[in-house]
């Protein structure tokens, strides 16, 4: 049957009013058949009633339907409106899709559990609590900590009869449940993690929990370094195409929190850590990338192989075909882990035959020059690779992506704070905040990006994650002196003492000021710790902000 319709644009029908308004433009005041108007009125009435029923029930009616807005073609000559009535078929299309969305939503609800146990009461755990309560579940939340802040949070929710919070867990039993949602900070080998997995109840991550109730396509990014920049860049590129994309996951806003919003974007770009992926059983993004894998989190993973398997699990539930993106040096892992029968999308700054390639000057896509890298605001080969991965993700997930719009998007993107962030230049001294450098490889990348010959006053150290710091010695000729802080400062001093001038500090402020005093014109004061921050700071952002504040105070009086 011939349908004289053309897809014009995508709209989101979130309420019966939006449903009605979306149909009206396709039904001009003239030449409207009575039967169509009657059916139209009935559909709006039923839609309103169903929404009201769901609104007053415990089941959340949040099906923000992405359907299509049609524009009429002229009917073929000789055809009658009774035989080919585009308005009638459009109305049926809307009506069918609306109730299909509600059915899909009901299916999601039926897959939820009456009793849910949530382990960990940090950002992820609290987001999972909010989602579970919204789904109508009875929730018990357990945490090993018992801080004043946690007590305040517990009091704020004390009136909710479906929520029970148990702080200060010391071991032993866990409350009965049909599903356990575990926060990324709790490993399977910790006492709380062991108790959860020993219970026989399914254990999933907060990321998995949010994804199960997400109606929006997910693009996922993992890797040791560059995740946040690539997540933000990918989101920026999709928005530059005219779509609505938002970031979620490890980047700051948990997916479980994002999916609670009534109005959903057209794409979620999710930063996924290995800790989150470990407890995913059905997480299936439409496109995913592993940026790189270097030594990290060895205090949690017994071997590098376990860490690699965790990263590659991002592909586990994806459909066969395109959309699985890896850097060229990960192809061997791809084969070893059993993906050899399928060809991945490869990006590289080392192999010219890659699908997405950077030759040191230009970016190439499928063998064709795409743009000049120097036209962007990005610095360093590592950021060129981040751009390659972002382009691969967008072309895999967004059909018909415009090359021109993507180039404009790449040119307008700027990295966020704490990632090779220029704090100031004064008296020939450049101060750079790369607090996001939380492992040795990221410190190496920073040194290569900003260092010259013996001109870097490096501030390094922090929480010891049992990592190998010897690769930093490969850049020793760039380091003028190292100012060491945190839990592993003595370990670094012993490792580097024969190659790098090292000084140990107990106070972060003193280390930064000493680095500034050591620096001369042409030098760089670089915060690239190569370690996590939680031994001295709230997080890497807190560390970076304190560095910036100290630098600004130190140089504010100098002309």
Q: Please, what is the end-to-end C-alpha distance for the chain in angstroms?
A: 78
Residue 490 within any structural domain of the chain: yes
Q: Which is higher by pLDDT, 343 or 79?
A: 343
559 vs 555: CA distance, rounded Å:
8
Q: Where is the domain boundary, 110, 128, 148? A: 110
Looking at the chain, how many residues does it have?
559
Based on the domain organization, do 457 and 366 belong to the same domain? Answer: no
What is the per-residue pLDDT for 113? 74
Indicate whether 227 and 153 sit together in one domain.
Answer: no
Are 327 and 384 in contact by the 8 Å Cβ rule? The answer is no
Is the model's pLDDT at 496 over the cut of 90?
yes
Above 50 in pLDDT, residue 12?
A: no
496, 358: one domain: no
Q: What percent of the chain has pLDDT over 90?
A: 67
Separation between Cα atoms, residue 426 and residue 149, nearest integer Å? 41
- Kindly state whether residues 448 and 549 are assigned to the same domain: yes
Would you say 313 and 278 are in contact if contact means Cβ atoms under 8 Å apart?
yes
d(CA 145, CA 143): 5
Residue 221 sits at φ, ψ, to 5 deg, of: -135, 130
With respect to residue 252, please indicate whether it lies within any of the assigned structural domains.
yes
Q: How confident is the model at residue 49 (pLDDT cuts 50, 70, 90)?
A: low
- pLDDT band at residue 35, thresholds of 50, 70 and 90? low
pLDDT attached to residue 296: 66
pLDDT class of 351 with cuts at 50, 70, 90: confident
pTM of the full structure? 0.73
Kindly report, residue by residue over 169-189, the tens digit of the pLDDT: 998 889 999 999 999 999 998
**Residue 492's domain is classified under what CATH number?**
3.90.190.20
Residue 208, domain member (yes or no): no
Residue for token digits 């020793």? 476
**96 and 120, same domain (yes or no):** no
Tell me the pLDDT tens digit for each residue of 91-149: 444 444 444 444 444 344 434 578 999 999 999 999 999 999 999 999 999 999 998 99
Residue 480 lies in a domain: yes
Instruction: List pLDDT tens digits, range 449-481.
Output: 888 889 999 999 999 888 889 999 999 999 999
Task: Look at the block and give the residue holding tokens 């600004």.
Answer: 552
334 and 380 in a single domain? The answer is yes
Q: Is residue 391 part of a domain?
A: yes
Number of separate domains in the chain: 4
Average pLDDT over residues 72-83: 39
Query: Is the pLDDT confidence value at 305 over 50?
Result: yes
Residue 495 has pLDDT above 80, yes or no: yes
Same domain membership, residue 363 and residue 295: yes
CB 292 within 8 A of CB 224: yes
Residue ending a domain, among 171, 201, 231, is 201
**∠ at Cα 277 (275, 278), nearest 5°?**
65
Mean predicted lDDT score pLDDT of the chain:
84
Q: Please say if the pLDDT value at position 41 is more than 70.
A: no
> E strand or H helix at 140, and its extent?
strand 138-142
Task: Give bridge partners of residue 484 from the DSSP assignment.
Answer: 460, 504
Name the residue with tokens 């670094």. 492
d(CA 66, CA 70): 13
pLDDT at 61: 37
Cα–Cα nearest to 209, from 144, 101, 153, 135: 135
Residue range(s) defining the domain that contains residue 90: 5-110
pLDDT at 235: 98
Domain containing residue 290: CATH number: 3.40.1190.10
d(CA 340, CA 264): 36
Alpha carbon distance 349, 48 (integer Å): 55
Q: Return the pLDDT at 182.
A: 97
pLDDT value of residue 52: 45
């Amino acid at each position: 049957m011939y349908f004289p319709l053309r897809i014009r644009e995508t709209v989101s029908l979130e309420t019966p009013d939006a449903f009605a308004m979306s149909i009206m433009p396709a039904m001009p005041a003239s030449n409207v058949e009575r039967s169509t108007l009657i059916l139209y009125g009935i559909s709006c009435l039923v839609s309103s009633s169903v929404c009201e029923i769901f609104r007053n029930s415990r089941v959340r009616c949040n099906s923000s339907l992405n359907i299509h807005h049609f524009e009429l073609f002229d009917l073929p000559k000789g055809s009658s409106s009774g035989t080919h009535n585009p308005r009638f078929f459009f109305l049926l299309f809307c009506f069918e899709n609306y109730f299909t969305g509600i059915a899909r939503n009901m299916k999601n609800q039926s897959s939820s559990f009456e009793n849910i146990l949530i382990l960990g009461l940090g950002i992820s755990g609290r987001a999972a609590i909010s989602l579970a309560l919204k789904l109508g579940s009875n929730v018990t939340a357990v945490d090993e900590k018992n801080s004043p802040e946690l007590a305040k949070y517990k009091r704020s929710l004390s009136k909710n009869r479906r929520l029970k919070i148990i702080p200060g867990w010391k071991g032993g039993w866990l409350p009965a449940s049909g599903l356990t949602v575990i926060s990324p900070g709790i490993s399977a080998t910790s006492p709380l993690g062991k108790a959860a997995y020993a219970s026989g109840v399914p254990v999933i991550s907060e990321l998995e929990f949010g994804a199960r109730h997400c109606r929006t396509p997910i693009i996922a990014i993992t890797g040791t370094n560059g995740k946040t920049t690539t997540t933000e860049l990918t989101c920026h590129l999709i928005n530059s195409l005219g779509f609505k994309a938002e970031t979620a996951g490890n980047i700051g806003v948990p997916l479980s929190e994002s999916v609670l919003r009534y109005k959903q974007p057209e794409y979620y770009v999710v930063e996924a850590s290995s800790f989150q992926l470990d407890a995913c059983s059905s997480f299936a993004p439409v496109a995913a990338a592993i940026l790189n894998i270097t030594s990290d989190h060895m205090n949690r993973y017994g071997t590098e192989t376990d860490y690699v398997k965790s990263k590659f699990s991002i592909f586990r539930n994806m459909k066969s075909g395109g959309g699985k993106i890896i850097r060229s040096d990960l192809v061997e892992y791809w084969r070893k882990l059993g993906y050899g029968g399928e060809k991945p999308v490869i990006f590289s700054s080392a192999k010219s035959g890659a699908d997405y390639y950077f030759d040191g000057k230009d970016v190439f896509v499928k063998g064709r020059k795409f743009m000049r890298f120097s036209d962007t605001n990005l610095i360093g080969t590592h950021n060129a690779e981040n751009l390659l991965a972002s382009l691969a993700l967008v072309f895999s997930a967004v059909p018909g992506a415009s090359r021109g719009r993507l180039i404009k998007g790449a040119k307008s993107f700027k990295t966020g704070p704490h990632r090779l962030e220029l704090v100031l230049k004064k008296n020939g001294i450049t101060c750079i905040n790369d607090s996001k450098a939380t492992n040795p490889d990221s410190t190496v990348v920073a040194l290569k990006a900003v260092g010259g010959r013996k001109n870097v006053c490096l501030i390094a150290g922090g929480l010891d994650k049992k990592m190998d710091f010897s690769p930093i010695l490969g850049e020793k000729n760039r380091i003028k002196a190292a100012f060491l802080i945190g839990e592993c400062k003595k370990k670094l001093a012993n490792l580097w003492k024969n190659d790098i001038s090292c000084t140990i500090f107990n106070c972060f402020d003193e280390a930064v000021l000493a680095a500034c005093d050591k620096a001369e014109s042409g030098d760089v004061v670089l915060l690239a710790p190569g370690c996590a921050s939680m031994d001295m700071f709230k997080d890497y952002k807190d560390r970076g902000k304190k560095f910036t504040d100290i630098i600004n105070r130190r140089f504010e009086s100098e002309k």
